[in-house]
Structure 1
Amino acid sequence: MTLSRTMRALGATTLAAGLFLTTAPVASADYVRDGQWPNQEFDLNKVWSVSKGDGVIVAVIDSGVDPSHPDLSGQLLPGYDPSGQGRDTHPTDSHGTAMAGLIAAHGHGNGDGAVGLAPGAKILPIYKSTAQDTDYVPEDIKWAVDHKAKVINLSLGSPIRNPKMADAVAYAAKNDVLVVVAAGNEGGPVASPADEPGVLTVGAVDKNNTIWSMSDYGPEVLLSAPGVRIVSTGPCNSNQYCIGDGTSDATAYVSGAAALIRAKFPNLTAGQVANRLVKSAYVPSSLQGAKLPDPHYGYGIIRPYEALTQDIPDGPAQGPLAKPVAAGDVGGGGQAPGASAPATVGPGSAGQPQTVGSSSHSKGTLVLAAAGVGIVLLVVVIAVIVAVSRRRKSAQGQFVQPPYGGQPYGAQQQYGTPPAWPQQAQPPYPNQPQPPYGNQAPPPGYPPQNNPYGQGGNQQR
């Protein structure tokens, strides 16, 4: 699994100068806080007057989260690293810390630092891979569910589908846990696990509510959220904050919004939480009158305050989420809300569900089997009669046995050299490292992203 975000260092000196040039008061607020434009769009004071996500556990399956960051102090619960090396709290890069910050950072000091959408929530940090850097995300999902997470943030993706992912998503659904997934940053169709039935897939928009050109798309996309020029926690070039683009950021914002709703409406199912987000979303003017969900925007752009306050019927338990399709036993003998029970898998089925027959099918199979046995017996009787007849004719000199090696039934038909079958390309090994979404070169003609904060400056805050 690769991480879908492009991050750059947030230079404190350059940013402060940029704000000064736009006549922002020098002492009005911390430069990082001012740089978090989505929070201003969300109007956090209004949002937090209704909910801060108190008591909700959000699992962040990523590159690990730094517990020493001042804006995340006290926000992390004991996490999990499948390799046993403690990388859940000793991150390999800044990506996971940034996602945790967008969800639940609380800032520090007197209005300094970054804040997340749901600062009352707790983060369950989970490292995404084993010691060999092999994909462990499905097992991580189940671990998060078993440790009381109510929302799981997956700001990652891969072109290779993990065959265990279906079971993991079904297990989360069975236990009423909402799985939020990044669409991806390739500018093409969504990859895995964004294409997994049962997850809430998220695209990215910029400050003008325009879809980001590199945001992946498809019928799986249900929502969009801010994902361009996003400031968050995480060390970049020894700085404590980064600025980045990607559907990773958008996904973290949706996870934070889901935490707000789960705190305000604890009796809603995961699907009903998704329903409130969908029904309250902002639909850009370009989509007015269009059929939704749009493959890029989904049902629209999240509006946390409206999701918390609008009069929205609960709706069915499944909500807008597709029914999970488990490849096998998801544990506990249960099933996803509103979904049919998963089919069992037989030996050698390569993880594909088998069709489960009804009793009438079974009776039909028995009848056919009995008929087959009768035909075989009839053939055997005829063969015995013919053999006896031939022996009698041979004794009377009327039957000539062909010489050994002959072909009494005519010459064997020759088909010539079999045609050469086309060689199929060998798919990459499932655990082969893939290039991260964020490191892809932009397509030709894509306008460069100007960084008003600059690239330099490593001043610590």
Structure 2
Amino acid sequence: MSFTRTLRAVSGAVVVGALLFGAAPTAVADQIRNDQWPLKAFDAESIWKESTGRGVTVAVVDDPVNGSHQDLNGNVLTGKNFIDGGSGDRESSKNHGTGMASLIAGHGHGSGNAEGIMGLAPDAKIIPVGRPAVGAGVGNSGLGEWIRYAVDQDASVINLSISPSFLTDSDREALSYANGKDVLVVAGAGNDGENGLTPLAASPGVVAVGAVDKSGKPWVKSNSGIQLMLSAPGVEITSASASGSDPYHLADGTSDATAYVSAAAALLRSKFPDLSAGQIANRLVKSAGLPPGETGSALPDPHYGYGFIQPLKALTADIPAGSKNGPLKTPKAEPTPPASGDQADERADDGLGAGAMVGIAVGVLAVASIVVIVVVVSRKKDGRNGPPPGGPGGFGGPGGPGFAPQQLGPYHQAGSYPQQGVYQQPGTHQQYGAPGEYPAVPPVQPPGWQ
């Protein structure tokens, strides 16, 4: 998630390992394309027969993007650069935003577009929302503004491969705003190898994403936690660079995994335009897979979420639409903090004055005292000095009005989602559970795992 990326040479072939799932398409001559192992793992050629993301706009809140890159030209809208107020598609040095955009909507170049970076949703459009780096005078305080801008530009998916260290009320309100506008928000879990997601990824309504390698195993530096929803390729990922002198680079991170989930969401929003953001998340969750040896794990799992994405299966499996919110917990803006200073004085003037309030309180106490005296005198006369109704102990004792047995909430009913960020008891959401449990559709084992 850090903007500092590990750059490596990409001239050599990526080590061949067990791929996530699907048959690998015929290798192409271009080395950069060959190095994109997730495309082979996803069986991208089959995916693109179902959807290419056409008609869907994905906002990339990140470094500004180099929209003139040969693998992105035409797929990047003007957007906005919140660093200098200009357009967001003119970056020439910082690579992170360009890399994320290329994994989502790169279209390659050359004859038959067989060279360079191909995104998983090559016909989607990118809205670049250029954000200042943390420490550049604004900290994290602009996140809410950037999210609102993306929503107002008609993005249906927002990719947040960033890791603010805290969220403000404005940020939370913006997440709620995106939810209300039916926009799917996707964020990376973080690259610290810690048990605990970044504040953004852990927020209600956000699809939190972890990274896995070629074998489907969790990346060692991918953060884990109960809010993790999905995993995707994030190790040895080749993507486009903003710099013209070195147009490609290789890196690891949950940033890249987040971009692949955003791209998969774009594919689904293109093919199923009537599904809500939560129902798109539903298809991703119910089609997710686990590697051999993990298929009996209780889900969600802190390292996998509901598993790694399987876009082809998400596009083609018979999965009921489900509820509007799907597995997403509805985000709510934080309550307004108590007033202080001048605001407190102004609010006090809106009601009764302090003197009036004290007078009323004294009057109430006087009346209560008279009632108590009358009751005590009456009981002495009648000899009624026993315990109150309900037996020893008063309220809550045997025969008295106590607490009723606690009812299970809607998230605990059979076949429903567990609340986002809260685990069910171990074993309640097995891979091959009863109809309606997660994931309901058995995963397809990849050929490389046999």
Pair in the same fold by TM > 0.5: yes
Show CA shifts across 1:343-369 (max 9, x none). Answer: 5665349xxxxxxxxxxxxxxxx9999
| 2:231 counterpart (208, 211, 224) | 224
The answer (yes or no) to whether the contact 2:103–2:256 under 8 Å persists in 1 is yes
CA gap 1:250/1:371 in 2 versus in 1, 3 angstroms: same
Matched, 1:347 2:347: no
Structure 1 CA distance for aligned equivalents of residues 53 and 263 of structure 2: 8
Structure 2 CA distance for aligned equivalents of residues 285 and 369 of structure 1: 73
In the other structure, the counterpart of 1:427 is none
The answer (yes or no) to whether the contact 1:141–1:168 under 8 Å persists in 2 is yes
Q: How does 1:436-455 map to 2 (within 5 A)?
A: none
Structure 1 CA distance for aligned equivalents of residues 309 and 359 of structure 2: 59
Structure 1 CA distance for aligned equivalents of residues 325 and 340 of structure 2: 32
The offset of 1:371, in angstroms, is 4.9
Q: How does 1:38-437 map to 2 (within 5 A)?
A: 38-86=38-86, 88-91=88-91, 93-110=94-111, 111-129=114-132, 132-135=137-140, 136-188=142-194, 189-235=196-242, 238-327=245-334, 347-348=339-340, 370-375=360-365
The answer (yes or no) to whether the contact 2:77–2:89 under 8 Å persists in 1 is no
Amino acid paired to 1:270? A
- % same residue: 45
The offset of 1:237, in angstroms, is 9.1
CA gap 1:278/1:367 in 2 versus in 1, 3 angstroms: farther
Aligned residue for 1:64, secondary structure, equals: coil
Amino acid paired to 1:375? L
CA gap 1:77/1:126 in 2 versus in 1, 3 angstroms: same
The offset of 1:251, in angstroms, is 0.2
The answer (yes or no) to whether the contact 2:58–2:126 under 8 Å persists in 1 is yes
Aligned residue for 2:6, secondary structure, equals: strand
Structure 1 CA distance for aligned equivalents of residues 246 and 296 of structure 2: 45
**Count of matched residue positions in the alignment of Structure 1 and Structure 2:** 339
The answer (yes or no) to whether the contact 2:10–2:32 under 8 Å persists in 1 is no
Structure 1 CA distance for aligned equivalents of residues 357 and 367 of structure 2: 16
Structure 1 CA distance for aligned equivalents of residues 4 and 288 of structure 2: 23
Amino acid paired to 1:347? A
The offset of 1:242, in angstroms, is 0.6
Structure 2 CA distance for aligned equivalents of residues 378 and 302 of structure 1: 65
CA gap 1:371/1:348 in 2 versus in 1, 3 angstroms: closer
The answer (yes or no) to whether the contact 1:207–1:226 under 8 Å persists in 2 is yes
Amino acid paired to 1:45? E
The higher-RCO structure (CA 8 Å, 6+ apart) is 1
Aligned residue for 2:223, secondary structure, equals: coil
Unaligned runs of 5+ in 2: 17-26, 342-355, 370-450
In the other structure, the counterpart of 1:333 is none
Structure 2 CA distance for aligned equivalents of residues 307 and 5 of structure 1: 32
CA gap 1:279/1:4 in 2 versus in 1, 3 angstroms: farther
Show CA shifts across 1:7-43 (max 9, x none). Answer: 314343x459x99xxxxxxx94210000000000111
In the other structure, the counterpart of 2:2 is 3
Structure 1 CA distance for aligned equivalents of residues 336 and 170 of structure 2: 14
Show CA shifts across 1:99-153 (max 9, x none). Answer: 0000000000121111000011000000123873533121100011011000000
Unaligned runs of 5+ in 1: 20-26, 328-342, 350-365, 380-461
| TM-score, structure 2 normalization | 0.70
The offset of 1:195, in angstroms, is 1.1
Structure 2 CA distance for aligned equivalents of residues 347 and 228 of structure 1: 48
| TM-score, structure 1 normalization | 0.68
Structure 2 CA distance for aligned equivalents of residues 369 and 254 of structure 1: 62
Please report the RMSD computed on the Cα atoms of aligned residues, expressed in angstroms.
2.8
Aligned residue for 1:7, secondary structure, equals: coil
Aligned residue for 2:339, secondary structure, equals: coil
The offset of 1:45, in angstroms, is 1.0
Structure 2 CA distance for aligned equivalents of residues 376 and 83 of structure 1: 65
The answer (yes or no) to whether the contact 1:232–1:243 under 8 Å persists in 2 is yes
Structure 2 CA distance for aligned equivalents of residues 128 and 121 of structure 1: 21
The answer (yes or no) to whether the contact 2:189–2:209 under 8 Å persists in 1 is yes
The offset of 1:226, in angstroms, is 0.2
Aligned residue for 2:60, secondary structure, equals: strand
Show CA shifts across 1:258-296 (max 9, x none). Answer: 000000000100000000000001122333232211011
